[in-house]
Chain A
Amino acid sequence: MTALGDPTRQAIFERLAAGPRPVGELAEGLPVSRPAVSQHLKVLKDAGLVVDRKVGTRRLYQVDPQAVADLRAYFDSFWDQSLAAFRDAAEQKENDDG
């Protein structure tokens, strides 16, 4: 099985995208054991997508803000440039398909 096609890992990541969670909370409602969830978290951590920190006696996992920031920066830049090109096309004389 490839990590790409792993729905559990995707579900874990999507839960983390909604906010930081402890492992026990992540495991609730998932059809896998808590150790399995921990293993998925390790893969995500090793990939630099997830970070953890201790809060009191608990360990909280969260999406690495830098990974998401990089992703958003990319799409921000892409759409900024593409919409500028769109504007130029829309404002041209109506002499083409546009």
Chain B
Amino acid sequence: MVEQAEETAVRQSIVVRAPLERAFHVFTAGMSTWWPMATHKIGTAPMVAAVIEPHTGGRWFERGDDGSERDWGRVLAWEPPHRVVLDWQLDADFGFDPELHTEIEVRFTPDGADGTRVDLEHRGLDAYGARMAETRDRLGSDGGWAGLLRRFVEVTAA
């Protein structure tokens, strides 16, 4: 039997006053200009760039100011300027986990004369669930995502 499935994706849309090609370019090649690098990184070195290699199968990684590189995932689909799909492989502790896969699909659509609608879906979040039991074991009794995220904030803010 199958009852209501748990929704394991989040979706966000935004319209930007920029043409299609520029919106795609800023999202991908210009990711360092908008990614919250101060808080959302996994390396110990200060993060200076978020890099998406511009082809299917390309790496997605962060670069530290010491030149170190830390993988975040892979490019699953590269279709400029309309669509990019990324494999996000950071676990609940924001460490790289080669066995973990969640997908981020971003679509870019012309909106009006000089605008672009951006639709983002981050799906497969249930993949985290299977890891959460172990993560909680390691984090002690402060279970739940609130606890994980507090720890995440602590770790990344350090």
* Partner-binding segment picked from B13-21, B55-63, B65-73, B74-82: B13-21
- Nearest Cβ in chain B — how far from A67, in angstroms? 7
**Assuming A19-B5, A49-B132, A76-B12, is B33 touching A70 (CB within 8 A)?**
no
Asked if A13 and B23 make an inter-chain contact with CB atoms under 8 angstroms apart, the answer reads: no
A interface majority secondary structure:
helix
Contacts of B35 on A, CB cut-off 8 Å? Answer: 82, 85
Give B146's nearest chain A residue, CB to CB. Answer: A70
- Nearest Cβ in chain A — how far from B84, in angstroms? 13
Residue count of chain A within 8 Å CB distance of chain B: 52
Residue count of chain B within 8 Å CB distance of chain A: 51
Contacts of B25 on A, CB cut-off 8 Å? Answer: 98
Contacts of B17 on A, CB cut-off 8 Å? Answer: 90-91
Per-residue B-contact encoding for A9-53, CB less than 8 Å = 1, 0 else: 110111001111100010000000000000000011011110000
B interface majority secondary structure:
mixed
Give A58's nearest chain B residue, CB to CB. Answer: B1
Contacts of A63 on B, CB cut-off 8 Å? Answer: 6, 126, 129
Asked if B134 and A75 make an inter-chain contact with CB atoms under 8 angstroms apart, the answer reads: no
Give CA–CA (A14, B7) in the complex, Å. 12
Contacts of A78 on B, CB cut-off 8 Å? Answer: 40
Asked if A48 and B145 make an inter-chain contact with CB atoms under 8 angstroms apart, the answer reads: no
Asked if A72 and B129 make an inter-chain contact with CB atoms under 8 angstroms apart, the answer reads: no
Asked if A68 and B134 make an inter-chain contact with CB atoms under 8 angstroms apart, the answer reads: no
Checking B34, B116, B131, B133 against A43 with a beta-carbon cut-off of 8 angstroms, the contacting residue is B133
- Nearest Cβ in chain A — how far from B105, in angstroms? 12
What would 20 A/B residue contacts be, using CB atoms closer than 8 Å? A9-B133, A10-B131, A12-B130, A14-B129, A17-B5, A25-B1, A47-B132, A47-B143, A49-B132, A49-B133, A63-B126, A68-B126, A71-B129, A74-B145, A74-B149, A76-B12, A82-B34, A85-B35, A86-B27, A89-B30
Contacts A4-B135, A63-B6, A86-B34 supplied; 11 other A-B pairs, CB < 8 Å: A17-B5, A18-B2, A43-B133, A47-B133, A47-B137, A73-B145, A74-B149, A79-B120, A90-B23, A98-B25, A98-B30
Q: Which residues of B contact A (CB under 8 A)?
A: 1-10, 12, 14, 16-18, 22-23, 25-27, 29-30, 32-36, 40, 99, 116, 118, 120, 122, 125-137, 143-146, 149
Q: Which residues of A contact B (CB under 8 A)?
A: 2-5, 9-10, 12-14, 17-21, 25, 43-44, 46-49, 62-63, 65-68, 70-76, 78-91, 94, 96-98
